[in-house]
Amino acid sequence: MKFAIVNGPNLNLLGKREPGVYGNQSFESYLNNLRKTYPGHKIIYFQSNVEGELINYLHEVGFDVDGIVINPGGYSHTSVSIADAIAAIDAPVVEVHISNIYARENYRHQSLTGAKAKAVISGAGMHGYKLALQHLIEST
């Protein structure tokens, strides 16, 4: 099976940005561990700080992969366009948030993109990506 992991704005700074909230491991390091955990599956990765690039990538892979794990970052709370892109593609999508969005500022409590996802995992740290992949593997 083939899965895409898509990370949105500021997630290129994982391991450096607010380690008390997001931890001190880079996503690239975590991704290597995920690939070792699921050697029978192909895991592709894309990160962008630009909303339109995220939408274009969802359109590009959303009809060819078996599932998508997305962390839209702050766009979760603001992007109708990313939510529409998730709704438009065939691949099931699981949204991941490293921090618990419900324990943060009020404006983070609503996820426009999560409303279009098959499932949302929030507050499990980087482990949320593994949980999302496992969910996709078991339900696809």
Structure tokens at 40: 């029978």
Q: Is 84 annotated as a binding residue?
A: yes
Give me the catalytic one of 22, 57, 75, 129.
22
22 is an active site residue? yes
127 is an active site residue? no
Q: Is 98 annotated as a binding residue?
A: yes
Residue 75: CB atoms within 10 A of its CB come to 23
Looking at residue 66, its amino acid is D
Give me the catalytic one of 30, 57, 75, 97.
97
Looking at residue 111, its amino acid is S
Q: Is 108 annotated as a binding residue?
A: yes
In the chain, where does DSSP find H-type helix?
Answer: 19-22, 27-37, 51-61, 80-88, 127-139
Q: Do residues 58 and 86 touch, judged by C-beta distance below 8 A?
A: yes
11/103 Cα distance (integer angstroms)? 19
Residues found in the chain: 140
Q: Is 90 annotated as a binding residue?
A: no
Secondary structure in 3-state letters for 1-25: CEEEEEECCCHHHCCCCCHHHHCCC
Q: Is 77 annotated as a binding residue?
A: yes
Binding-site entries for substrate: 71, 77, 84, 98-99, 108
Residues marked active site are found at 22, 97
Binding residues: 71, 77, 84, 98-99, 108
